[in-house]
Structure 1
Amino acid sequence: MPLALFDLDDTLIDHHAAFRAWAEEFSAEYDLGSEGFDWLMAVKARYSGTKDRLFSMVRDEFELAEPADLLWEGYRRRIPELATCRSEDLEALQQLRRAGWRIGIVTNGMADNQSAKIHRTGLAGLADAWCISDEVGIRKPDPRIFRLAAQRCGMPADDTGWMVGDSLTLDVAGGRAAGLRTVWINPSQLTVPSDQPGPDFAVASVADAVQRLLA
């Protein structure tokens, strides 16, 4: 029985669109204007750390009265309500399950936020198991989180399994280190940097990845 592990944000879920919708609401609520919205989107594009530190930056930038942890809590509560999956990706996962594949989700992030996304988008009914870094105490690209996700799916993490994700560092390098083959979600058709490990193949979407796996 084959195994496919998937990243969550900007792989299964259009996190960029959810963040943009949240940033529009947040900018309106705090009267930040278009400049504030642009700042939030620019920070999101270049920020790679944990979100608790991000909201300390947001609080300081706009001199907000609310503590950063409350701003972060509000974000975690709202983002799952804005999260969506492409219908063709959900249909592709259903096709993968019908073909006998085990499906897992491997994601960094807070347990409440990521778990809510998985349930609200219907992914919980399509995945055999998932691992959230906050829950298990391991973050991608540590290979242990991929192995744990495979174990929860009842499968070994070896070269018969696949990791599908949008990050060369977290998903491709991490998946390879765990012994998995890898698919890079790369809709912009970027070139793999010379200092980064290359995936087994690159595609534009989860639906495209599933077709390659089934082929």
Structure 2
Amino acid sequence: MQRLALFDLDNTLIDRQAAFRAWAEEFVTERGLDDKALTWLIATDAHMPGPRGPFFTAVRNEFTLTQTAENLWQQYRQRMPELVSCRAEDLDALRQLRSAGWRIGIVTNGMTDNQQGKIRRTGLDVLVDAWCISDEVGIRKPDPTIFQIIAQRCGAPTQHGGWMVGDDLTLDIAGGHGAGLHTIWLQSTQTPQEFVGPRPDFTTATVTDAVQILLTHNAPPA
């Protein structure tokens, strides 16, 4: 099997939940809102995955804001890349993977400006061969086509195998499986356990652990 490793971005390579909480705290403070507003923002975000348009429409309505939902969304996309971070050990693991001759790609749903800003701000752009953002190509995970696009950009087509690493059982694990990839699930305490799709090949907690699995189970020929 070729040495191709594809990674999800939010809550895989970066801590999106921590960044969102930081954004929500700023939002509440700037508008003089209370702790109930912070709780509402975090809970609503958790229950409204996918495109952010509906979320910001709900925010505008909940707090009777004069700004349009589109304007709120644009401000969010500008700020979020400044709040995200990667674990230093995960960045070191990606360097180790590259040194071992792996092709590395990022495949993520989201808006191009927001997701690309996160990739560049955290330094991931110099540690991967390519990335693919759903807004850019008009295809969202778990559609197998988006995995095929990023694999091609990495110079390693999916028909020759590879791996997908991510935190979402549907988008990353079922999506990667549908594209013919082996999968590693980064299990979170906040990830629902009820799932009837294909099971991951491995389950672990961090990107660092996932990289060690890759290096062990897909070692180059002697």
User: What is the TM-score with the length of structure 1 in the denominator?
Assistant: 0.97
Shift of the 33–191 alpha-carbon distance from structure 1 to 2, 3 Å rule, reads closer
Q: Once the two structures are aligned, what percentage of the paired residues are identical?
A: 60
Partner of 1:195: 196
Alignment of 1:101-140 (within 5 A): 101-140=102-141
Letter in 2 for 1:121: T
Deviation readout 1:112-134 (Å, 9 max, x if unpaired)? 00000000000000010000000
Per the TM alignment, residue 156 of structure 1 is displaced from its structure 2 partner at its CA by 1.2
Which position in structure 2 is the counterpart of 1:162?
163
The answer to whether the Cα contact below 8 Å between 2:169 and 2:195 also exists between their aligned partners in 1 is no
Q: Could you say which residue in structure 1 is the equivalent of 2:89?
A: 88
For 1:39, the aligned partner's letter is W
Residue 40 of structure 1, CA deviation: 0.3
Instruction: Tell me the equivalent position of 1:62.
Output: 63
Q: Where does residue 220 of structure 2 map in the other structure?
A: none
Give me the whole-angstrom Cα distance separating, in 1, the residues matched to 2:208 and 2:188. 12
The one-letter amino acid paired with 1:173 is A
Where does residue 149 of structure 1 map in the other structure?
Answer: 150
Q: Secondary structure at the residue paired with 2:158?
A: coil
Describe the SS at the equivalent of 2:180: coil
Residue identity in the other structure for 1:156: P
| 2:173 alignment partner AA | V
Match of 1:3?
4
Secondary structure of the corresponding residue to residue 145 of structure 1? helix
For the aligned residues, what is the CA RMSD? 1.4
Kindly indicate whether the alpha-carbon contact (under 8 Å) linking 2:24 and 2:41 is maintained by their aligned counterparts in 1.
yes
What's the secondary structure of 1:88's corresponding residue? helix
Equivalent-residue separation in structure 1 for 2:92 and 2:28 (angstroms): 35
Q: Which runs of 5+ in 2 are unaligned?
A: 217-222
Q: How many residues are aligned here?
A: 215
Residue 72 of structure 1 is matched in structure 2 by: 73
Q: Deviations over 1:149-183 (max 9, x none)?
A: 00000001146300000000000000000000100
Q: CA deviation at 1:47?
A: 1.3
Amino acid at match of 2:40: W
Q: Per-residue deviation at 1:189?
A: 9.1
Which residue in the other structure is 1:35 paired with? 36
Unpaired runs of 5+ in structure 1?
none
Q: Taking structure 1 as reference, are residues 117 and 194 closer, same or farther at Cα in structure 2, changes over 3 Å only?
A: closer
Structure 1 residue runs of 4 or more that deviate by more than 2 Å after TM superposition: 187-194
Note the C-alpha offset of 1:188: 2.8
User: Match of 1:40, SS?
Assistant: helix
| Equivalent position of 2:219 in the other structure | none
C-alpha deviation, 1:106, in angstroms: 0.1
Q: Deviations over 1:42-63 (max 9, x none)?
A: 1112112310111000000110
Equivalent residue of 1:116, what SS? helix
